[in-house]
Structure 1
């Protein structure tokens, strides 16, 4: 009997001890979190396996012990590699300033469109004598270009002579007759000579109102063309009637500018006779990419050099900027007015130029601080001791500096070498929005 009592006592003692340990284990499990020794960012409230490497989770902190304090250094070490790069490298701060740059351009010397003039026929008539014989012939203001016979001019001259003789006291009527002749191309010298001699001239001289040289003068003789010739069908050919072989008559579809200018030809009112160009003022035109034209402003200094004349330099300024779109390409044309009365430039001459300009004040960082990913650009910003990739928008590059439009502020600190921050596995993952 005593033996059974001892066994019963031992069983009771074992049961009490087991209940006590179970309670302690339950209490410990309720206040414990578990983490992976290799991946501290994995934290769970119950035991298990790491979802990354498969290792068993271990207790992180005990309910009856001191809680684990997450310091800045520990938080820095717990950063995922796709969000932070741990390194001790040189850092830079974006600078808010303006940059000065020089843009090289290639261009061509051309005419000033404001100094290209057209001389039309003010009256209809026949050219009796032509004093301009070839293109690029130099002329001066007041020079006689041609003599024309026009019934309209003869009638206007006789009207003025009649009024001057029969109604000399009516000054207003005489002045109106003079004004009519002026509008028909007469000069004051011709009017004074008409009133002095009292005889109307049947050939009236037309003078140049401009200085320069002649262009657009068509002195080519018209090509020979076959005349209209009826061809009768043969009676033995079996065809009835006749067919006509013809060609268009000369000048039928020609315009005024296509007509040759020579003595004996007739001209109509308003028909352009020739053009005159004054070369005292010339342009230099340069084509530049559309992305760079925004930096160049009107009045920017330009230094023009001539490949044919080494050592010669011409100082000028940008006067006009005009955007163009041609053949699927956007570009801009920069126009520079050359100083007047200079002897270096010639029309059609190829020239080179350098335009100096200053950009607007914006953020600038070293070129190495921005990593170009093809369609996006990335800079590494320092946050809480680590570097995080951020998307930035850049514009132009001047020297070793690159312009940042958005993505950074003047107070940010970034890595001085973005390429150094990229590992062999290209872990950079940026949330582009």
Structure 2
């Protein structure tokens, strides 16, 4: 036994490294337990800290329809696709968008997009009607010098055209045997009257005086003036030549005869025009005739005087349309006292037509006339007769709502608004295309995609249609898409108005059709939008906006083609409404059941 103990002691004696290893193991074991306990304490603190942080919300949305936002996983109520989670956010109260076309931008995004807005206002504006044409002679101020008697031209006092002449100045020296005989008749009548001056027979005296008067009238008819006739009487002998005087002041624009030329009665020798007043003959397009009136002021310019504008007044509108150019001649009277305007000058003219709220020309705005509703010309994104504007949503900074409106004519820097906006609303005038592009990327209705975008996998987004895969999915979606019976009842009344309009379109005249469109609009406005909530409410606001625009366009249609175009668009939107809300006039086929 002692030997064994001795041997063990020898082991520790001969192997001191072993003793060191044992001691270090004991120390590390002690600190390891202490570290584990401390680490466990820190872990529990971290876990507690995580639990104390506000919980974050996971929102579930559809990849095709980002406007759908749900607190739990499920199916998209529009296309039936599985909802996907969005990055968690701290729980906050978030209002549901009021429109399918609504978009919210951060302050940085607004600055980057350079968003600017302007208010919708009522103010008198003028429609600018552009026309082109040229300067012409005023036909009421053109005079002709003609031969009143046959004869020979012995002298022309004006040798070339373009010469300015004054009224009463000599123009032609004409030899005429016929005029010589007429002068002789006058002188003979005067001599006979003097001879019979002392006669006691009254009848003879009266006859002699009448002969003198008749001879004078004959000379007047042959072109002589009273002064020339008095000169013949003073001289007491006839002349075989007569001087033809200028009948008016003006410019000689045509010289039609030569010296030595024999002329007949009525032969034109000179043409004179008074250029202190000229005409501007303009071509107006057929579509612009609604904005042109007699008495309207026109402003125009010519190439000869850059930067200078001339004014005139419309005095005549041609009753005929040129079948080749589809234009109408418009005559403008222009004062030209300084003679700057020359015939055949090309002109570019603009007629300014003040318009009322009914988009009709008014002669002069007054306090009784309601000004039209207008927006800046940069606000709308034009899509044919309709346009898209983006309106700042009141109370939601940085939020903009897309809206389809009906525009009237453009009036300078403004557009008239016929439907879709109210006075005081603010429309985006700069950055609107960027907002539209963002909506298009998000598959929401936009200018380029009026019904929204489409995603992959063969699912196509249609407001009012759903793509389902199973009966269970249909049941779940139906629960979410149930429509209040009161709304269904009002929608049916709207469909009946549409059916009345459909019959009138086939058989009625344009006045009856417009009246039915107006009745449809009235019925549409009576539908209570507050009966719907959530996504159904947003879809109705979209459809109601589109159908209201259809009704407005139908109400202002000028012919059956325009009315039919509005009706076809309305039919499309009515069908979308029926499909979206599962409404049918047949019993047992709608949500009202």
TM-score interval (norm. to shorter): 0.5 to 0.7
Give the superposition deviation at 1:290.
6.8
Hey, which of these two has a bigger chunk of strand by percent?
1
Aligned to 1:60: none
Match of 1:130 among 156, 166, 179: 156
Aligned to 1:150: 176
Aligned to 2:75: 38
Hey, which of these two has a bigger chunk of helix by percent?
2
TM-score, normalised via structure 2 length? 0.44
| Contact kept? 1:381, 1:389, Cα under 8 Å | yes
Match of 1:94 among 120, 128, 142: 120
Aligned to 1:266: 262
Distance 1:198 1:263 in 2: 29
SS at match of 1:269: coil
Give the superposition deviation at 1:111.
3.7
CA deviation vs aligned residue, 1:211-249 (integer Å, no higher than 9, x gap): 22322214xxxxxxxxxxxxxxxxxxxxxxxxxxxxxxx
Distance 2:254 2:136 in 1: 16
Shift of the 382–123 alpha-carbon distance from structure 1 to 2, 3 Å rule, reads same
CA deviation vs aligned residue, 1:182-228 (integer Å, no higher than 9, x gap): 1110111221122223222122222221222322214xxxxxxxxxx
CA deviation vs aligned residue, 1:347-385 (integer Å, no higher than 9, x gap): 566778888775543111133442212454234679999
Aligned to 1:247: none
Match of 1:337 among 334, 337, 341: 334
Aligned to 2:189: 163
Aligned to 1:393: 407
Distance 1:129 1:415 in 2: 76
Distance 2:117 2:156 in 1: 80
TM-score, normalised via structure 1 length? 0.58
Shift of the 100–375 alpha-carbon distance from structure 1 to 2, 3 Å rule, reads closer
Shift of the 93–161 alpha-carbon distance from structure 1 to 2, 3 Å rule, reads same
Shift of the 130–363 alpha-carbon distance from structure 1 to 2, 3 Å rule, reads same
| Contact kept? 2:249, 2:274, Cα under 8 Å | yes
Structure 1: gaps spanning 5 or more residues: 1-34, 42-51, 57-72, 219-260
Distance 1:54 1:107 in 2: 63
| Contact kept? 1:289, 1:332, Cα under 8 Å | no
Alignment of 1:1-400 (within 5 A): 37-40=74-77, 52-53=79-80, 84-88=100-104, 94-99=120-125, 110-167=136-193, 169-170=205-206, 171-218=209-256, 261-282=257-278, 298=295, 300=297, 302=299, 316-318=311-313, 320=315, 322=317, 325=322, 327-328=324-325, 330=327, 335=332, 337-340=334-337, 342=338, 344-345=340-341, 359-360=355-356, 361-374=371-384, 376-379=386-389, 387=401, 389-399=403-413
SS at match of 2:174: strand
SS at match of 2:224: coil
Give the superposition deviation at 1:333.
5.0
Distance 1:288 1:180 in 2: 49
Give the superposition deviation at 1:390.
3.0
Shift of the 335–172 alpha-carbon distance from structure 1 to 2, 3 Å rule, reads same
| Contact kept? 1:393, 1:407, Cα under 8 Å | yes
Distance 2:420 2:385 in 1: 18
SS at match of 2:187: helix
| Contact kept? 2:298, 2:314, Cα under 8 Å | no
Aligned to 2:529: none
| Contact kept? 2:128, 2:411, Cα under 8 Å | no
Aligned to 2:450: 428
Shift of the 39–381 alpha-carbon distance from structure 1 to 2, 3 Å rule, reads farther
Relative contact order: is structure 1 or structure 2 higher (C-alpha 8 Å, sep ≥ 6)?
A: 1
Shift of the 102–214 alpha-carbon distance from structure 1 to 2, 3 Å rule, reads same
Aligned to 2:201: none
Give the superposition deviation at 1:392.
0.9
Shift of the 111–368 alpha-carbon distance from structure 1 to 2, 3 Å rule, reads closer
Shift of the 319–411 alpha-carbon distance from structure 1 to 2, 3 Å rule, reads closer
Distance 2:152 2:392 in 1: 87
Shift of the 138–370 alpha-carbon distance from structure 1 to 2, 3 Å rule, reads closer
CA deviation vs aligned residue, 1:146-196 (integer Å, no higher than 9, x gap): 222333322222222222122354334322221121111011122112222
Distance 2:373 2:331 in 1: 27
Shift of the 262–343 alpha-carbon distance from structure 1 to 2, 3 Å rule, reads closer
Structure 2: gaps spanning 5 or more residues: 1-71, 84-93, 106-115, 195-204, 357-370, 452-545, 548-568, 571-593
